[in-house]
Amino acid sequence: MSAHVLSTTAGVEDVVAVIVLLSEFAMLRAPLLRSQVRLYAFQSLAVSALAVVVAATRHVGDIYVLAGLSFLLKAVIVPLVIMRLLRDVDVDLVGSSKLGVASSTLVALAVSIFGFFSVGSLRVRGAALPTTTLAVASAVVLVGFVLIVLRSDVVSQAMGFFSLENGVSVASLAIAAGLPLVVELTFLFDLLVAVVAFGIIMRVHHGRSKTLSTDELDRLRG
């Protein structure tokens, strides 16, 4: 494979990774639960597109299967399921964030800078290792954590968790594209289990307390 093809792939990987990171930021700012789910669907679409590009340029046929499955699951089924749950619970706005919009964006910026810094200071080198993509992917994971920590409603926390998984997908596609299909599929099934679990939590929690906010849970005592 020529260096030209490799560098083009790395360029595309960087672009997609940054798109994923920016949609993560947008999720942090999204005022509606629905728009958060839509952003997640868009983010998953970007990750699936990255998988197709990686499959085409590195000639790994398995990844096409992975791309198709991840598109079907993450960009279609999960958003549809969550949207359906949202229609039932009749709550539109995201739960109040523990910080204001500006401060939470600043925290996310600082955290993603830390992500870049940590990967930069690892000093791992390698011709085949796209460290920049890895850095963006780790920033995505960290911002996903920020989303989970700062937002106090079930849907935001679920979306934060799912998009965190998207960050991991980007990293695994960039680093180990040849990872056996079985391992990648296990990731996806993990996600499926998480969707079911979060769906049940949403239903039960909303059924008991008529709200999606997790602040209520603080008062539970054993």
Using DSSP's 3-state secondary structure scheme, residue 134 falls into helix
In this chain, which of 72, 77, 101, 197 binds other proteins, going by CB under 8 A?
Answer: 101
Tokens of residue 3, six digits: 């260096």
Which residues are within 8 A (CB) of 56 and not within 5 positions of it... i.e. 6 or more apart? none
Choose between 9 and 156: whose C-beta lies nearer to other proteins: 9
Which CB atom, from 29 or from 203, has the smaller least distance to other proteins? 29
Least CB distance from residue 165 to other proteins, whole Å?
20
For residue 107, give every residue at least 6 positions away whose Cβ sits within 8 Å of its Cβ, in sequence order, or none.
99, 146, 150
Task: Give the nearer residue to other proteins in terms of CB position, either 3 or 220.
Answer: 3
Cβ(157)–Cβ(214) below 8 Å: yes
List for the chain the helix, strand, coil content (%; round to 5): 80, 5, 15
- Least Cβ distance, residue 117 to other proteins (angstroms): 4
Interaction mask 126-155, other proteins, x per CB under 8 A: -----xxxxxx-------------------
Q: Which residue has the tokens 């079911």?
A: 196
Residue position matching structure tokens 């792939």: 9
Q: Does 14 bind other proteins (CB under 8 A)?
A: yes
**Contact positions vs other proteins (CB under 8 A):** 3-4, 7-8, 10-11, 14-15, 17-19, 22, 25, 29, 101-102, 105-106, 109, 112-113, 116-117, 119-120, 122, 131-136
